Structure 1
């Protein structure tokens, strides 16, 4: 049986992560980018996101098979307790439970940070992605109709929302993912990376 692991991403993972992401740019409407991203620019994205939020990779015998991360939802201060989530799986590893495992860990880390609400914005139709998010309790809250143009057609975006905790009273400060106690991070990642679907 293959050895699987979920761990925090590092900048050393950038090239392998980008190799998963690039086909989504060039061949799908999952990403709304049109062209390839220089590796240094992609590294800067990882650096910027991981300064606050978790970015996870799922490895199979050391190979990155998928990744997921939280990122800034909106810039104004009142949105500090919100984030947006994304998950990408390598084409040879679809439908093996990797997205589920990554999201299990990601959402626990986001809650530990003190975040309240997670959003996902999905180009529809995309039955697989919508089903994955509903599995985690996301609700459909609206559609941006014909908001983006790619591959010769105008595209709709579905907005989905998940609350991590009750929104009552004044929230505490959000903890940067890099400042979460190592013991708590290890507990979350190790508990989820055990007993995932055999590859």
Structure 2
């Protein structure tokens, strides 16, 4: 008899190889990311380190146990980054999420975003924004599932750029979606860097 559960924790640089194994198929087989080449493990590790200086980078980990054994597997990740470099944008972030393809529609994405928003709210972030690839019509590289996923989680459509990205010999649109997770004040509390937020 076996049992499994999903736990969410901050990423570490040592997770780079496992996270890259989730990300690589999105680069090679889809237009969900507009990156052309799969980054090296070293580059991906640097991305994690850079993000964690200010923002959360979370992984979803499945823990499976049997009567005689226990194992863990990373099945998804989500992180945030600056919406814009200027100081006035400090309370707004861009979010990204990737789930292992075999784990889609399992609830892992929702759990990751819920945890991510909890941390961001503790950092005094008010606006979360998602930049999402959008096809004019669904094809073998891209569909509207990500847009629908974000809508289901409370994101609203803000705007769309038309035929602004080219991959696999096709032109794709890009949309921005937004969700408010905090209050806006005339005297806004300072954004708190992720390393100073100790509880998920």
- Correspondence 1:144 to 2:161: yes
Q: 1:76: which partner in 2?
A: 86
Following the alignment from structure 2 to structure 1, what is the Cα–Cα distance between the partners of residues 112 and 157? 21
Give 1:108's match in structure 2, choosing from 118, 123, 126.
Answer: 118
Within 5 Å, which residues of 2 pair with 1:111-126? 111-125=121-135, 126=143
Following the alignment from structure 1 to structure 2, what is the Cα–Cα distance between the partners of residues 3 and 95? 16
Q: CA RMSD in A?
A: 1.1
| TM-score scaled by length of structure 1 | 0.88
Q: Which has the higher contact order (CA 8 A, sep 6+)?
A: 1
CA positional deviation for 1:93: 1.0
Following the alignment from structure 1 to structure 2, what is the Cα–Cα distance between the partners of residues 120 and 146? 18
Give 2:186's match in structure 1, choosing from 164, 169, 189.
Answer: 169
CA positional deviation for 1:107: 0.6
Following the alignment from structure 2 to structure 1, what is the Cα–Cα distance between the partners of residues 5 and 120? 26
| TM-score scaled by length of structure 2 | 0.88
CA positional deviation for 1:25: 0.6
CA positional deviation for 1:4: 2.0
Cα deviation code 1:61-119 (max 9, x no counterpart): 21000011111111111111110011101111111100000001101110110111111
What is the DSSP-based 3-state SS (H/G/I as helix, E as strand, rest coil) of the residue aligned with 1:22? helix
Following the alignment from structure 1 to structure 2, what is the Cα–Cα distance between the partners of residues 83 and 169? 19
- Correspondence 1:48 to 2:38: no
Q: 1:88: which partner in 2?
A: 98
Following the alignment from structure 1 to structure 2, what is the Cα–Cα distance between the partners of residues 35 and 58? 25
Q: 1:31: which partner in 2?
A: 33
What is the DSSP-based 3-state SS (H/G/I as helix, E as strand, rest coil) of the residue aligned with 1:84? strand
What is the DSSP-based 3-state SS (H/G/I as helix, E as strand, rest coil) of the residue aligned with 2:105? coil
Q: How many residues get paired?
A: 183
What is the DSSP-based 3-state SS (H/G/I as helix, E as strand, rest coil) of the residue aligned with 2:4? coil
Q: 2:148: which partner in 1?
A: 131
Q: 1:178: which partner in 2?
A: 195
What is the DSSP-based 3-state SS (H/G/I as helix, E as strand, rest coil) of the residue aligned with 1:3? strand
What is the DSSP-based 3-state SS (H/G/I as helix, E as strand, rest coil) of the residue aligned with 1:101? helix
Between Structure 1 and Structure 2, whose CA radius of gyration is higher? Answer: 2
Q: 1:195: which partner in 2?
A: none
Following the alignment from structure 2 to structure 1, what is the Cα–Cα distance between the partners of residues 27 and 17? 15
Where do 5+ consecutive residues of structure 2 fail to align?
Answer: 64-71, 136-142
CA positional deviation for 1:3: 2.9
Cα deviation code 1:118-144 (max 9, x no counterpart): 110111143321122112211001001
